[in-house]
Every structure is written in structure tokens, then in C-alpha cells.
Structure 1
């Protein structure tokens, strides 16, 4: 392998699988509104990206284990690993729309041990690991990826449960349990991250795109709620929790909607007021994902509960998510091409000098 590839893997952002999350959920939103060709193209892109990233993550784990552990102990980067869990399940739920239930089930099954490891290892390393500085001053929006990963499991589990009658009664309680864990995690983290924003001076650079996961975590909770509400209402666990899931689902949607103007203000503060250059960064996919998820969640929950105005909002929002995906994808391609171009130009100059 080339030195360039080794360096790229060594420095791989733990949260790069947000690329797959964003691509998968924008594909889902387009599919929900009948834009099949665009949806299928993004589905293929997401599947290829997932395959490449799984190879890269595995390579990094084998060749650079110290860096993997260091990232897990880093409060600003560690929760990025939950993007792998969410990527598997978001893509699985999209494939379920094409009746690939078995693939969705396999991807969900693979994500469970990953979720368990990350759930206990990442926060555990921050609590009991050797640390020179306090953890809370380094919190950011990426912490909500813990919620996103958890709710992706809830949604995928409910999706499989709805399509396999033999597994419905056993998987439905598990889906509701994952959903409940995700909601409680969100309530816990929203306090911690908000205190961080209010307690210490926040530079414009610190207002990274990861803060959009504030809203994305509520949106995927709403999507998972819609998947749970699609289960047979006479199931004992649904009899006990249906009203809670439905009610909290709408409240989370409302809270996520409330966040959007504030997040836009964060972006304006960073790029318009402080004139910080807009360049490609892997965390930009953490902004695309919430935009796409808000559309998919609004459409799914609105249809499940008869709230047509949510579907109408989603009909517009899906194109905002798609436009954001296009913009970040173009920026990513340019970022990949430019280093190669610089290297080629340097080599050409060297040849001319010796020619």
C-alpha cells in the first residue's frame, strides 16, 4: 500500500462513517417520496462507502491500535465510533424498503456487539482512564452520536420485528428498550453539552458541524418511534408503552425543530461573523445527516400518526438534505483531488528542474 494510503488510514476520523449515515438517510427520504432513481444511486454510494470504511477501520485497528485507543479516550473524538453502528443500521433500514429484510437483520446483528463495546468502552475510558485534563470542557455535539447509534438499533430492530411475525413478539420489547435507552441518554447528554456551551467561552471554531447532531439525535428518535408504532398495537409491550412512544416522539420532533434556527445561528456566527473559511471536513457529514434524518423522520412519523403537516414539511426538507449532501460530496471530492494534484505538480517541477 502507498504511503499516502497509510497516512490516510492512520489519521482516519472515528466519525467518518457519518458519510454512510448521511447518504443512507437522504436515500431513504428520497425513496419515501417516490424519487427512486436518485434514491437508488445514493444507496449504491452508501453501500460502497460502508465497505471501504469498514476495511479502513479494520486496517487502522490492526496497524495503528494506539491511535484507535487514543481516539476512544478523547472526549472530542471518541463518540465518533458510534457512527459505525448507525451507518450499519441506517443502511439496513434503507435496504428494508427494498424488501431486503434479511440484510437489515444481519447488519443490525453485527452492530449489536459494536454498540455494546462502544457504549461501555468510550465513556468508561473517559471515566476511569488516565487523563491529564477534565473531560467536560472537551465535550461537543459528537456526544449525541451515542444516542444516534442507540436509536438506529431501535429502528432497525423494530423494522425487522414488523416484517417477521415469528420474531415480532420477542424483538418488539427489545426495540422499545433500545428506544427508551436512547431517549434517556439524550436527556442526560443535552444537559452536559449545553452546560459546556454556557459555562466556558466558546470560540467560533468550536461551533463545529457536530452540534447539528443535537437535532439529528431527536430526529432519529422520531424515526425509531415511527418504526415502533408500525408494530401490531396489541403486543403487550405496545399496550404498555404506545402512548409514551407516540407522545415523546412528537415532543422530540418539536424540540428538534426548535433547534434548527439556533444551529443556523451557530453556523452564521462561525462563517459569516467570524469569517472562518468553509472547507471540507469529515464532520460536515454530521450536519448532512440531521437534515436528511429530519425529513425521513417527519415523513415516517407523520404517516404513522396521521399528522399530514409533518409529511408536507418533509416533502420540502428532503431536498434541503439532498442539496446539503451534494455540496459536501463535491467538497469531499475536491479535498481528495487537490492533495494528489499538489503532489503531481511538485513532481513535475522536480522533473523540469532535472530535465
Structure 2
């Protein structure tokens, strides 16, 4: 029998592990929006938190499984990059949303406390596992200046995000699970803030090496927004840690760094706008 020809449109497209973890930006954004609406739109915030949490859970099972299935030969380490930290970012965003909603809840405080604590704890586990994979990737495989791009800044931002989520948990109302973990969380906040502070000059040095010494062109790509998030999150975590543990130095660092984060945001936004203008000119000919 003659073999059936498969139409090019019906051929299964290869799965791309390098872009798969970007789907975790959806639950992260949804949970952040839930936290922002918690004060005035509690029901809408609750619905968004449910959607974001369910999406993070589903993606947490589906994405790693698809990555494993997509690897016919070779190691998955070749596809590991900074975007993999978005998995932990999505989980921590759920902890922040649940902790903020708990302050405004009239019922179900115990449930929100459990969601916040478990999300924060699981987020740290994913943080550590991903950090190990990234380190193995950098050590065992060849790495060039084009391989270490802006998404690696997410590691620094995630360290700061752990602090922000933890401060919200420390400030939650008294429930059995929060009371049991409050002391541990408070101690870990300082450690993760220190990690973020240590990583900041490292990432700046990597950028100088990449663009200054290796001459990789600094042009606009959506990945540049991966630098804006960590800077803003580190500033927010510094101020949050200063308020929670009464450390004036971190509060001052956060306030000063916030101006740098705003400047980087403005520069990235202008670069995006100019890139759009150039594309329109190219289309019009």
C-alpha cells in the first residue's frame, strides 16, 4: 500500500522547552492582579486567585512532562535557562495573593493561610531545584556571551520575591499553620535578601562582559523586561524587610534602588516604542 502523505500543515510542530516556561507568566500576572484588587474587589480578587493558583498547578504538571517527552536524545540541560525560574515566580505570586486576601477575609482564613504557606514553601523548593539545574548547565556545557541573556536576572528577582512573599506571611493573622512557621520564615527572609543583594552586582558584571567586552549588540527584545522585574522586586523586598525586621539600612537601599528600577523601566519602554516605530517604517517601505 502506498504510504499516506502527511500534509505540512498537519505535521506536529516540535515542542520548544526554551519557551515553555514563559506560560507561567499567566498565573503570576493573575495572582498579582488578585493581590492588587484584594482591598476593594474582594470577590473578584478571590476568583482571580483561584484561576491563577489552578493555572500554576496545571502548568506545573504539564510543562515538565512535555519537556521530558520532547527529549528523544541528549540531556535536557541544554534547554535550561533563566526562564525556568518563572515556575517558582508563579508559585510565589500565589503565596502573596493568598496572604493579602487573608487580611480582608471574613471567613476561610485558615484555607488562605494554608495556600500561602504551602505556596511559599513549594516555591523555595522549586527555586533551589532550578538553581541546581542552571548551575549544572553553566558548568557542564559550553556557554558563550549570547547564552547568558536577560532572563538570568529572574534568579535575582526571584530571591527578592521570596522575601516579599515571606513578609506578607509573617504579617498574617494568627492561625495554627502561620504560628508554626512564622519564626522560620522571618529568619529565611534575611538569607534570601542577602542572596538577592549578592546577585545584583554579579548580573551587572555579566551584562558588562556580554555587551562591553564580547560586543553583543544591545538591541531591544522582549527579554529585556526580565531586567526590570528583578530591580523593582529587589527594591520592594528591601523596603518590606526593613519594615518587617526594622532594619533602616535595607529600607534606605530599597528607596534609592527604586529610582534605578524606574529609570530602567523607562529606558526599556522607550526602546520598545522605538523598535515598534522602526518596524512600522519598514512595513510602509
> Is it true that 1:169 corresponds to 2:110 in the alignment?
yes
Candidates 9, 21, 27, aligned match of 1:79: 21
| SS of residue in 2 equivalent to 1:207 | coil
- Listed one character per residue, the Cα deviations across residues 202-238 of structure 1 (whole Å, up to 9, x for unaligned) are 1101110000011111111111101111112x31112
> Shift of the alpha carbon at 1:101?
3.6
Candidates 180, 194, 201, aligned match of 1:254: 194
Give the TM-score normalised by the residue count of structure 2: 0.91
Counterparts of 1:225-240 in structure 2, within 5 Å, are 225-232=166-173, 234-240=174-180
Candidates 32, 49, 67, aligned match of 1:126: 67
| SS of residue in 2 equivalent to 1:204 | coil
> Is it true that 1:311 corresponds to 2:228 in the alignment?
no
In 1: Cα distance, 2:240 partner to 2:91 partner: 19
| SS of residue in 2 equivalent to 1:206 | coil
> Shift of the alpha carbon at 1:105?
2.3
> Shift of the alpha carbon at 1:82?
0.8
Q: Which runs of 5+ in 2 are unaligned?
A: 1-9
Match of 1:18 in 2: none
In 2: Cα distance, 1:75 partner to 1:166 partner: 41
Give the TM-score normalised by the residue count of structure 1: 0.74
- Listed one character per residue, the Cα deviations across residues 54-91 of structure 1 (whole Å, up to 9, x for unaligned) are xxxxxxxxxx9x66xx5xx4232111111111112223
RMSD: 1.9
Give the aligned length: 276
Q: Which runs of 5+ in 1 are unaligned?
A: 1-63, 347-355
| SS of residue in 2 equivalent to 1:166 | coil
Candidates 292, 299, 321, aligned match of 2:261: 321
- Listed one character per residue, the Cα deviations across residues 326-350 of structure 1 (whole Å, up to 9, x for unaligned) are 1111111111121111121x2xxxx
Higher RCO (C-alpha under 8 Å, 6+ residues apart): 1
Match of 1:137 in 2: 78
Match of 1:50 in 2: none
CA contact (8 A) 2:31 2:53 kept: no
> Is it true that 1:113 corresponds to 2:57 in the alignment?
no
